[in-house]
Amino acid sequence: MKADLILKSRTIFTGIDDAPISGSVIIKGNRILAVGKTDLSQYDCDMVLDYGDKLILPGFVDAHVHYFLGAIAESGRMCTEIAKSVSEEECLRMVKAFADRHPEEKRILGMGWFPANWNDAPLPDKRSLDAIFTDKPVYLISADVHTFWLNSRALEEAGITEDMRPRSGSVGKFDNGELSGLLFEPEAFGPAMAKVMDFDAQEMKQFHKAFLSHINTCGVTSISEMSADDYNETAYRNYAIIKEMEEAGELTCRLHLYTRLDGYTDFENAKKLQARYCSEKLRLSGVKGFLDGVTSTYTGLLLEPYSDRPQTCGEGVPGTPFGENQASVTAANKAGLGVRLHCIGDGAVRMALDLYEGSLKANGYHGQVNSIEHIESIHPQDLPRFARLGVIPSMQPYHLVLDQNEKISRVGKARCRWEWPHRSILDQGGQLAFGTDYPVVDFNPFPSIYAAVTRMDEQGQPAGVNPQERISLAEALKAYTSGAARAYGREDIGVLQEGKLADLAVVDRNLFAAGASEIKDASVVLTVMDGKIVYSGI
């Protein structure tokens, strides 16, 4: 029997069982022929790779990615070193140095500043940028991609005015009503994001090729575009570029598109896109909406007031009345579209579960997968509802480390018991899906797996107040493979099994025999996507 590729190892994690097995993975075309103990003499194959004790596992499926913004962030055309800044002053110096190195750029882009990294300093405003940048627009995106910091030139270029009234989020102003240069949440910073994305098709294609190469080195074989793109020419152009790459054989990662939910009950445009983008590599998988923002800027929706700002349960959220959100979710599911809802606070998580329950009552079981994104805090009474409603909790374990216990001040230590509750969700019958929220966190899956297994930061210190939420290595790997595949509504990826698509990765060590502290230091030595080697590190 002819085979195209055979991988051998004494440590193969199929994603079906909890313990690894010894044997081979046999591939023909883009499918898996067999896994496990197999008589290899029956196969005619020119490429047989023996990895000894190195771990072979399904290709990593990142459940939550902002692909197009990520491609720009990875391109070198954006100042990303500000993620390491420890103060506003250091951030400004980094942006100035970047601008000096890139005098050809018509606008200065940056991403990664975060108040939690500035000792929870007050939010910046346009005045510090204006003191340095007078002739070029400057657009600086926060690390969690929920706040934009602009100078006066950027405010002018993006058309931001004092009379703007977004449905959700807000346009920052000083006490006198003047624009401050801060834009909170996607509805408010949409015009600024359009400027950040303003690269021509050829430039974007170059960005994509380099970006996909980076993704492949991380063993990631499936990702998404989760920015909830509206139905406009910018989104259509971006999708068309990727389609061209797929047709040219240049798409080396499966990409799942999610268009806008908020404000719609007629999803004819989404269905047209779904009919066009429906391949094994590129497909429109559903729609995405936002129920809140982030707790760092008090836009996350809580059930009870913030501990350090008791006058609010979340500023400017929810931006849309519950009834309108229910109409959108119910209509999307009825149209055959899975829904994914951004929810940081426990109030937003409860609302999302209520919306999905309402959709089930209206539509019955519709066959689509709904998910809740992030779930950084939850009320324990809502934990069993994920299994009961069939909702996937899509979470990013490394965000616990990034948070640096900020939520202790925001929501108080008692409620922090239920932050990033991986163990509790599994114990209540839920199925986790893991990802990075790239470009918030790099695609490298191992720091995220380490965080989920240990609840520690990379220095070995507790990353939160609830170490009882640790999960096993096998559970973390399943969340990063088959669990994330379910979030995309896919049964053909995420496990190593006969007949499944041949997506897999080889790790440089046997993680099951390694100490937990070693997980974060692991790396990928081979990535196979659709039966083809797309990365080889040795």
Cα dihedral sign for 249, 251, 255, 261?
negative
Strand partners, 153: none
Model's pTM, two decimal places?
A: 0.95
Banded model confidence at residue 319, pLDDT cuts 50, 70, 90: confident
Residue 178 burial (CB count, 10 A): 12
Strand partners, 393: 372
Residue spans of alpha helices (H) in 335-363: 346-363
- Domains of the chain, earliest start first: 5-58+499-536 (2.30.40.10), 78-196 (3.10.310.70), 201-487 (3.20.20.140)
C-alpha pair distances (Å), 401 with each of 24, 126, 405, 434 = 36, 29, 8, 15
- Which tokens hold the place of 426? 């599994």
The torsion of the CA quartet 108, 109, 112, 117, rounded to 10 degrees, works out to 20
Q: What is the DSSP secondary-structure string of 4-23?
A: SEEEEEEEE--SSSSS-EEE
CA distance 370 to 373: 10
Report which DSSP code applies to 181: E
Q: What percent of the chain has pLDDT over 90?
A: 96
State mean pLDDT over 162-167: 92
Residue spans of alpha helices (H) in 371-444: 385-389, 399-403, 406-411, 413-416, 422-427
Residue type, 397: P
State mean pLDDT over 13-42: 97
C-alpha pair distances (Å), 211 with each of 191, 199, 291, 294 = 25, 15, 30, 27
CA distance 308 to 406: 11
Banded model confidence at residue 433, pLDDT cuts 50, 70, 90: very high
Q: Is 109 helix (H, G, I), strand (E, B) or coil?
A: strand
> Looking at residue 316, what is its pLDDT?
85
Any residues with CB less than 8 A from the CB of 397 and at least 6 apart, and which?
420, 422, 434, 448, 449, 451, 452, 476
Residue spans of alpha helices (H) in 370-494: 385-389, 399-403, 406-411, 413-416, 422-427, 445-454, 473-478, 484-487
> Looking at residue 538, what is its pLDDT?
75
CB 481 within 8 A of CB 57: yes
> Looking at residue 120, what is its pLDDT?
82
pLDDT at residue 179 above 90?
yes
CB 452 within 8 A of CB 471: yes
The per-residue pLDDT of the chain, averaged, comes to 97
> Looking at residue 167, what is its pLDDT?
83
CA distance 139 to 245: 29
- Which tokens hold the place of 356? 């999905």
> Looking at residue 4, what is its pLDDT?
98
170-173 and 179-184: which strand pairing? Answer: antiparallel
Q: What is the pLDDT of residues 94-111, one digit of tens each?
A: 999 999 999 999 999 999
Q: What is the pLDDT of residues 362-387, one digit of tens each?
A: 999 878 899 999 999 999 999 999 99
State mean pLDDT over 287-302: 96
pLDDT at residue 279 above 90?
yes
CA distance 343 to 314: 12
pLDDT at residue 295 above 80?
yes
pLDDT at residue 432 above 80?
yes
State mean pLDDT over 453-480: 97
CB 497 within 8 A of CB 35: yes
CA distance 245 to 68: 14
Q: What is the pLDDT of residues 61-87, one digit of tens each?
A: 999 999 999 999 999 999 999 999 999
Identify the helix (H) or strand (E) that includes residue 227.
strand 220-229
Identify the helix (H) or strand (E) that includes residue 179.
strand 179-184
State mean pLDDT over 301-310: 97
pLDDT at residue 115 above 90?
no
